[in-house]
Structure 1
Amino acid sequence: MTVGLLSAVGLVAVLLAVRLMFVVITVDGHSMEPQYRPGDRVVALRGRLLGRPVTGDVVLIRRPSGANGGSVLFLKNVVAAPGDPVPTLFAAITGDRAGRATPDGCYLVLGRHRASEDSKNWGYVSSRDIVGKALRPRRLGDDLPGRS
């Protein structure tokens, strides 16, 4: 094999590995403003690579059953991870008492906007529906000179 062919194979392997590790989305909606605005690009570390999400993480989730049509993926804040106490806001929705531990494999998520579609509507989100953990948004114009 030539060096050029080996380099090409190596490059393809690296690109495939990156594609399997990360997902990039463009925010389309206002539910996470001001932290994430429409048009922001968000890189998320996929699946098992992210470790177990904890309270305060921003996660990318598949549309849970019971969610309205529209986006297939949602970006939300984790407000309770497995073992965390169920916040009072969610007690009636989940059927659990406030302060009771969030069940294994379940998360409660919340958008930053009052009208956000999230665990207030859906209840628990399964860990199987978590696609990745957001790393940081890339705002439109970040790559312009003089912007950081």
Structure 2
Amino acid sequence: MWYVLGAVAVLAVLAVVARRALVVVRVSGVSMAPTFRPGDRVLVRRTAAVRRGQVVVFESTRPTGWGTGPPAPPWAIKRVTAVPGDPVPGDVAAAAEARPGDRVPVGALVVVGDGTSSADSRVYGYLPADRVLGVVVRTLSPGRESPGPSSPDVPDGAVS
């Protein structure tokens, strides 16, 4: 009997850890097409440590700077194209107010959508790194990839 209680306790701890470490979000825009399409669900691992090439979900609204202009969803999904210390990409330099040879500053990221229609660092400049929720680890959408093990029971949040 004690082993059943032990197994239940372990499963409860794992569920709590998974809920804190993972979140499922639903893609609502086309800025990451064809990688992600509207309606796709993605599993995101909460982390502040990101690398160039990873896809991140981040808070898109800010009182100043990133996310100003027309109302935006509270979360966005983009690909990281430069991290602190990397050269500022030429197509981002004007929006980031960077000069030739400048490097991405500490605490900032350059993010760009995979699609042809994306409001990203080419429009808003640097993304403050503290706005990152986490890194996309897999697609959960039916027919795209197999979902693998069941994800934590958390409500979907829309991103674009």
1:141 deviates by: 2.8
* Superposition pairs of residues 59-138 of structure 1, within 5 angstroms: 59-65=56-62, 66-67=66-67, 68-138=70-140
| Superimposed CA distance per residue, residues 80-133 of structure 1 (whole angstroms, 9 cap, x where no aligned partner) | 110000011111111111331100010010112232121122211111101101
Q: Is the 8 A contact 1:82 1:104 kept in 2?
A: yes
How many residues of Structure 1 are paired with residues of Structure 2 in the alignment? 140
- Over the aligned positions, Cα root-mean-square deviation in angstroms equals 1.9
Q: Is the 8 A contact 2:27 2:39 kept in 1?
A: yes
Q: Distance in 2 between matches of 1:137 and 1:91?
A: 32
Structure ranking higher on relative contact order (CA contacts 8 Å, 6+ apart): 2
Who is 1:37 aligned against? Answer: 37
- Percent of residue pairs identical: 33
- Name the stretch that deviates more: 2-11 or 87-96: 2-11
1:34 deviates by: 0.3
C-alpha change, 1:34 and 1:105, in structure 2 (3 Å) is same
DSSP 3-state at the match of 2:110: strand
Q: Distance in 2 between matches of 1:64 and 1:100?
A: 26
- Output the TM-score relative to the length of structure 1: 0.84
Q: Is the 8 A contact 1:61 1:132 kept in 2?
A: yes
Unmatched runs of 5 consecutive residues or more in structure 2: 147-160
